[in-house]
Chain A
Amino acid sequence: MIDILTSYTFMIVALGTVILAVASGIIGTVSVIKGQSLIGDAVGHATFPGIVLAFMLAGTRETLVLALGALLLGIIAFFTIQIITEHSRITLDGALALVLSSFFGLGMALMSFVQGNPDFEGTQGLSDYIFGQAAYMLRSDVYLILAASGASLLVFILFYQQLKIYIFDPVYSRSIGISNMLMNFMILGITITLIAVGLKAVGAILIVNLLIAPAVVGQLWSDRFFHVLIIAAATGGISAFAGTYISTAGNDIATGPAIILVLSAFVLVSLLSARKGLLRRSILKRKVGERS
């Protein structure tokens, strides 16, 4: 066990995934409370064509370049969803499903173009971004995650008060001069950035879980925003560490899915036994029943 914990690969991968999960847990809490959690899902899928496009244009598999492509397509996808829902009868539900699958389709079409074309070399690594290949993470990838997560958390802390007011009382926040649009774009900008840098670790399809699950656990245990954030960050971090350990110890277990399984276990346990959970609730119900 000690061998694994002190091995270089494990330390690199664990550092990257833990930081990513902590930042995602905190930012994801905001999206979950605002009812926007599936936007992360759509954006996650939509980053795939960005990866392939960046590779086609820049001709390199440098993580930073690919992350920029992912970021760009994520933003385009978000605005497409926004325009569709604002200017037609289509609901968010429908717009998300449409944009998510069409962008992913574009990614597959581009991918097949690149693979069948002798002008492009070294395309094997690209499909790793669909499921993530944390085992191949380099030191530079971890720096990228570190920089993006650090910047995201810094912005979050700087605007903490305004964000809190915006989240819970948008009407009041507008009346005291906070730009709701700015707050919304800030949260989505940070979300898309985290998704873009996290793709290599967890992949385009599963990354939304890192944003949602920690927040769900936090909400089950507390009603106070600050406590929810702390619990979400801790859940994310612990799951990332445990998941990375499991995937390193057991052969052939992908890191992203392993982290998500640990997170899901946390959700399941919390759903049953948390302060607001189902078991407590049924006990409470029985007590009330006895009294009456």
Chain B
Amino acid sequence: MMIEVLFVLIVTAMAASLLGVFLVLRGMAMVTDAISHTILLGIVLAFFVTNDIRSPWLIIAASLVGLATVYIIELVSKTELIRQDAAIGFVFTALFAIAVILVSKFAGNVHLDMDVVLMGEVIFAPFNRIDILGVSIPNALWQLSIILLINIAFVTLFYKELKVTSFDPKFAYIAGFSVALIHYGLMTLVSVTAVAAFDAVGSILVINFFVAPALTAYLLVRRLGAMIGLAIAFAVLNSVAGYFISFHFDLSVAGTTAFVALITFMIVFLFNSKGFIIRRIQKQHQKKTFSRAMIMMLMNEASHESLSQKEIMSHFNLSEAQFNRHISYLIANEYMEKDEEKYRLTRRGEEFTHYTRLKYELPA
């Protein structure tokens, strides 16, 4: 039974991250965050009408509010009176505030708990079951699997359109693609996925399931197909790791998975071949090579053929430690020789400066 929790988590993560790839490429991550907050208003309103937390009307109403959020943000920022980021910030908080007031005012004693709505708890998913072809499976798993299939179908059918409109919307428009249709199609699916995922992972964390795997993949690859594949792989990895860690330490599953996603991202960010640490090391290396080349260039000049340690240090503003490191390297590689406290270039060192001049295109 507990393994079903993991299945729900994985299916949610896959459905979300598949769309997340396009959200990241289109720079719509924060708009999605806004949606994931405002769908609460749709859920609350539909709940007041139907009084049934499992009613399909909740999904429809929430998706409509999600779409309305996107539309209002676009409408406001299109007037050019307010910047888009400010528009996102105040539109979603306003709609969310209405939802919070409605919940606290009217739903205090009914079955709509703010904590569960916001935070979700995937642990409870197996308790709500449904019979499909005689097999009993959790309702959430059934719903999310269907949504995963719809998302896969959408991306497969409109792959070309999604690709063009994500990377070059102006060209797509001129070439006759219906940019608006793809845009709102994508945002509709985002809303539907967010609503279905909300009682598994909560409305604040669902954004993490959308963007974290896609962002991690974006660090590594440059091809869209590879990015999608990798994003889904990271989504599964985060879910599995988050699931086992949270069970071991008895933590919130969704919360742990979200934080594990940041750790996965940071590991890739720091250690990938173009990442933070490798780049730092390369920079250091470049700096060292350059300093050594410059020391040799100086000593290749007739007036500086033979220099003392002090002269070299003051010339390049080197510390004792830096000087020793450079000189021991240069001597060990036989670019330089020491002669009664004075340093001078060897034949090999002079040849090296010749190549340095060529490399930096300096006059001989």
Contact = CB atoms under 8 A, between A and B. Distances in A.
A107 interface: yes
Interface string B193-217: 0000000001011011011100100
A123 to B, nearest CB: 13
A35 B85 CA distance: 7
A19 to B, nearest CB: 20
Interface residues of A, number: 67
Contact of A45 (B94, B98, B204, B246): B204
Nearest to A276: B81
Given A93-B30, A216-B86, A102 B261 contact: yes
Contact of A252 (B93, B105, B215, B257): B105
Given A87-B279, A212-B90, A271-B76, A206 B252 contact: no
A261 B255 contact: no
A38 B89 contact: yes
Nearest to B251: A109
B269 A88 contact: yes
Indicate the member of B37, B81, B269 with the most A CB atoms within 10 Å: B81
A38 B286 CA distance: 37
B97 A209 contact: yes
Interface stretch (B113-121, B172-180, B292-300, B308-316): B113-121
Indicate the member of B82, B90, B98, B205 with the most A CB atoms within 10 Å: B90
A95 B246 CA distance: 25
Interface in B113-168: 114-115, 118-119
Contacts of B37: 205
A216 B105 contact: no
Contacts of A110: 251, 255
B208 A37 contact: no
Given A109-B259, A261-B97, A90 B252 contact: no
B290 interface: no
Contact of A113 (B208, B212, B249, B254): B249
B183 to A, nearest CB: 16
A37 B85 contact: yes
A25 to B, nearest CB: 13
B101 interface: yes
A16 to B, nearest CB: 18
Contacts of B33: 41, 96-97, 100-101
B90 A108 contact: no
A35 to B, nearest CB: 6
A97 B32 contact: yes
Interface string B96-117: 1110110011001000001100
Indicate the member of B24, B211, B246 with the most A CB atoms within 10 Å: B211
B211 A98 contact: yes
Interface string B239-278: 0000000100111101111110110010001000001100
A272 B90 CA distance: 16
Contacts, number: 204
B83 interface: yes
B331 interface: no
A32 B83 contact: yes
Contacts of B265: 98, 102
B321 to A, nearest CB: 27
Interface string A250-274: 1011101110110110010001000
A110 B212 CA distance: 20
B234 interface: no
Given A93-B30, A101-B204, A116-B250, A213 B90 contact: yes
A111 interface: yes
Given A100-B33, A105-B256, A209 B211 contact: no
Contact of B255 (A89, A106, A206): A106
A130 B118 contact: yes
B319 interface: no
A258 B101 contact: yes
B13 interface: no
Given A102-B258, A104-B205, A260-B94, A109 B211 contact: no
Contact of A107 (B83, B208, B249, B255): B255
Given A98-B212, A101-B204, A206 B89 contact: no
B359 to A, nearest CB: 27
A41 B89 contact: yes
B219 A90 contact: yes
A129 interface: no
B212 A101 contact: yes
10 contacts: A35-B85, A37-B83, A100-B207, A102-B259, A109-B259, A209-B90, A209-B97, A261-B98, A261-B101, A276-B81
Interface of B: 24, 27-30, 32-33, 37, 76, 79, 81-83, 85-86, 88-90, 93-94, 96-98, 100-101, 104-105, 108, 114-115, 118-119, 202, 204-205, 207-208, 210-212, 215, 218-219, 246, 249-252, 254-259, 261-262, 265, 269, 275-276, 279
Given A41-B33, A97-B207, A131-B100, 12 more contacts: A35-B85, A38-B89, A87-B269, A93-B29, A94-B24, A97-B211, A98-B29, A98-B215, A101-B207, A216-B90, A256-B100, A257-B96
Interface of A: 32, 35-38, 40-41, 45, 83-84, 87-91, 93-113, 116, 127, 130-131, 205-206, 208-209, 211-213, 215-216, 219-220, 250, 252-254, 256-258, 260-261, 263-264, 267, 271, 276-278
- Which 9 A-B pairs give the minimum distances between C-beta atoms? A105-B258, A108-B255, A102-B262, A101-B208, A97-B29, A257-B97, A209-B93, A264-B94, A112-B252
